[in-house]
């Protein structure tokens, strides 16, 4: 059976919510970004994109490119609220939904299409309902698989609906520049350009063997993508691949006490998200960026898997201490901690030490208070800055 896959992508989502809540911003170059000296752009409105402002661009660069832009700090709680409204609309069409982020998702309509007509009929209805119920614009791609559906939604932006039919796959893909294909980053693009490959048609013409000899098994996968082949299912129960928190400091930090405090705050956020999702972490990852922009990652396995903040913090702190012993005089520009949840909770070892009930209770009380009164109402003393003059 040929599948009917939709990719729904909200247009400039964060910026669109800001305009929705503040109508005076309509028609202006709205840029949602970190406002500090080392902030980065989260989302730019289409008016701002005309000036070359893009996501992940340093805020300072965005200010240079768009001096008349309106810069707004992100309001994640509000974006999550609007995202939930949109996903409620999508759920009216199929239970087979794979969320990718707050503002995009795949839908598999293969088993519910008879209720809505064609894939294009359903896409048009979804676009209209999101606009009517949520007051937000979205683009929708329709195709036989996820790869093509995502490329189709990009072709329909902003606010459009685009279909890639099974008999028009190559005519759709062939003219595209290679950088449009998922998995081809700047480095691989340069390698392919050296080989004389500029379009997906030229990539496909190389054949799987030639690509495999240059790029290994990924070369064969690239050839399949250039042919529009993608057998991945829409995963309705996706385990979050990673949960993380990070901070870019306004000034490079060498003081270990400052790093320890920030690490605890991040571990609290990560632990809370784990517990909210009903997951347990099997791996802790420490992320660092030095003042010279060199990136470092360290990781360790958790046995048994856990959702306890104290355990995650202890492992992350140990990784940071080890790195600091090897690099005692290197200031830190960015600090981050993340975990990789397990798909299923592993069976606890018969010989594992029991989890202290006091620690479990502290997490439960902390979560309950912060959910009711806000995330800054309660925190561990270890994450607090000492009064001036005290160590």
Domain span at 220: 171-226
pLDDT at 390: 53
User: The domain spanning residue 212 has which CATH number?
Assistant: 1.10.150.20
Least confident of 135-144, 205-214, 234-243, 325-334: 234-243
Q: Residue 68 contacts by C-beta under 8 Å, 6 or more apart in sequence?
A: 29
104 catalytic residue (yes or no): yes
Residues 203, 283 share a domain: no
Separation CA 14–CA 44 (nearest Å): 8
- Token pair belonging to 326: 């090897």
- Token pair belonging to 389: 């003059």
Q: Rounded mean pLDDT of 277-300?
A: 87
Residue 376 has pLDDT above 60, yes or no: no
DSSP, res 199: B
Q: Rounded mean pLDDT of 199-221?
A: 91
Residues 248, 303 share a domain: yes
CB 260 within 8 A of CB 372: no
- Token pair belonging to 349: 């070892």
Residue 203 has pLDDT above 60, yes or no: yes
Q: Out of 24-28, 181-185, 342-346, give the one with best mean pLDDT.
A: 24-28
| CB neighbour class for 260 (10 Å; exposed up to 12, middle 13-18, buried from 19) | middle
Instruction: Let me know if residue 50 belongs to a domain.
Output: yes
pLDDT at 356: 47
Residues 366, 251 share a domain: yes
CA separation, residue 152 to residues 2, 15, 19, 182, 240 (Å): 17, 22, 26, 13, 25
Residues 365, 247 share a domain: yes
Residue 388 has pLDDT above 60, yes or no: no
Residues 296, 262 share a domain: yes
pLDDT at 348: 36
Separation CA 307–CA 275 (nearest Å): 6
Least confident of 17-26, 43-52, 285-294: 285-294
Instruction: Let me know if residue 143 belongs to a domain.
Output: no
CA separation, residue 143 to residues 121, 164, 181, 268, 335 (Å): 13, 5, 16, 41, 41
Residue 124 has pLDDT above 90, yes or no: yes
Question: Last residue of some domain: 41, 60, 76?
Answer: 76
pLDDT at 238: 59
Query: pLDDT grade, residue 375 (50/70/90)?
Result: very low
CB 20 within 8 A of CB 32: no
Q: Residue 63 contacts by C-beta under 8 Å, 6 or more apart in sequence?
A: 69, 71
Query: pLDDT grade, residue 240 (50/70/90)?
Result: low
Separation CA 55–CA 53 (nearest Å): 7
Q: Rounded mean pLDDT of 329-337?
A: 91
Residues 286, 247 share a domain: yes
pLDDT at 363: 55
> Into how many domains does the chain fold?
3
Separation CA 140–CA 152 (nearest Å): 7
Best CA proximity match to 319, nearest among 336, 331, 304, 333: 336
Query: What global pTM score does this model have?
Result: 0.68
Question: Last residue of some domain: 59, 76, 93?
Answer: 76
Paired residues of 141 in beta bridges: 7, 162
Least confident of 78-82, 198-202, 216-220: 216-220
Instruction: Let me know if residue 88 belongs to a domain.
Output: no
Of the two residues 155 and 216, the one the predictor is more confident about is 155
Residue 331 has pLDDT above 50, yes or no: yes
Report the percent of the chain where pLDDT is more than 90. Answer: 63
pLDDT at 37: 83
Question: Last residue of some domain: 56, 76, 96?
Answer: 76
Q: Rounded mean pLDDT of 89-95?
A: 93
- Token pair belonging to 100: 């990718």
pLDDT at 194: 92
- Token pair belonging to 266: 């991040």
Instruction: Let me know if residue 105 belongs to a domain.
Output: no
Of the two residues 363 and 83, the one the predictor is more confident about is 83
Residue 93 has pLDDT above 60, yes or no: yes
Residues 248, 222 share a domain: no
Of the two residues 360 and 201, the one the predictor is more confident about is 201
Residue 106 has pLDDT above 80, yes or no: yes
Q: Rounded mean pLDDT of 229-255?
A: 82
Q: Looking at 18, 47, 98, 104, which residue is catalytic?
A: 104
Instruction: Let me know if residue 117 belongs to a domain.
Output: no
Separation CA 17–CA 80 (nearest Å): 11
Instruction: Let me know if residue 26 belongs to a domain.
Output: yes
Q: Rounded mean pLDDT of 80-96?
A: 93
- Token pair belonging to 352: 């594992």
Query: pLDDT grade, residue 353 (50/70/90)?
Result: very low
Instruction: Let me know if residue 57 belongs to a domain.
Output: yes
What are 354-369's pLDDT values in tens digits? 444 445 555 554 555 4
CB 11 within 8 A of CB 131: no
Residues 348, 283 share a domain: yes
Paired residues of 161 in beta bridges: 140
pLDDT at 144: 96
Residues 267, 220 share a domain: no
Mean residue pLDDT of the chain comes to: 86
User: The domain spanning residue 322 has which CATH number?
Assistant: 3.30.1490.100
């Amino acid at each position: 059976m040929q599948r009917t896959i939709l990719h729904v992508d909200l247009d400039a989502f964060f910026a669109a919510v800001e305009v929705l809540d503040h109508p005076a911003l309509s028609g202006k170059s709205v840029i949602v970004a970190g406002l500090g000296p080392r902030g980065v752009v989260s989302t730019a409105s289409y008016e701002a994109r005309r000036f070359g402002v893009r996501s992940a661009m340093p805020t300072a660069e965005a200010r240079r490119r768009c001096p008349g832009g309106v810069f707004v700090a992100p309001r994640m709680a509000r974006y999550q609220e609007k995202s939930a409204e949109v996903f409620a609309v999508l759920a009216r069409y199929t239970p087979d939904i794979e969320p990718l982020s707050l503002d995009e998702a795949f839908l598999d309509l293969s088993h519910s299409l008879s209720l809505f007509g064609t894939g294009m009929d359903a896409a048009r209805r979804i676009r209209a309902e999101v606009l009517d119920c949520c007051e937000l614009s979205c683009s929708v791609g329709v195709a036989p698989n996820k790869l093509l559906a995502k490329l189709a939604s990009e072709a329909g932006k902003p606010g459009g609906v685009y279909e890639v039919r099974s008999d028009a796959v190559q005519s759709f893909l062939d003219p595209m520049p290679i950088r449009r294909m998922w998995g081809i980053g700047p480095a691989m693009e340069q390698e392919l350009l050296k080989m004389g490959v500029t379009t997906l048609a030229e990539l496909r013409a190389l054949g799987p063997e030639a690509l495999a000899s240059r790029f290994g098994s990924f070369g064969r996968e690239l050839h399949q993508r250039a042919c529009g082949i993608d057998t991945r299912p829409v995963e309705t129960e996706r385990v979050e691949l990673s949960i993380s928190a990070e901070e870019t400091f306004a000034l490079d930090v060498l003081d270990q006490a400052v790093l320890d405090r920030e690490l605890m705050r991040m571990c609290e956020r990560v632990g809370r998200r784990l517990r909210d999702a009903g997951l347990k972490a099997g791996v802790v990852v420490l992320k660092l960026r030095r003042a010279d922009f060199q990136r470092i990652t360290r990781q360790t396995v958790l046995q048994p898997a856990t959702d306890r903040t104290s355990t995650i913090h202890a492992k992350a702190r140990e990784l940071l201490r080890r790195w600091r012993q090897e690099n005692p005089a290197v200031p830190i520009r960015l600090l981050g901690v993340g975990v990789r949840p397990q798909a299923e909770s592993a069976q606890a070892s018969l010989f594992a030490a029991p989890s202290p009930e006091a620690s479990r209770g502290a997490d439960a009380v902390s979560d309950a208070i912060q959910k009711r009164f806000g995330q800054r109402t309660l925190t561990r003393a270890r994450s607090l800055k000492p009064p001036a003059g005290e160590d």
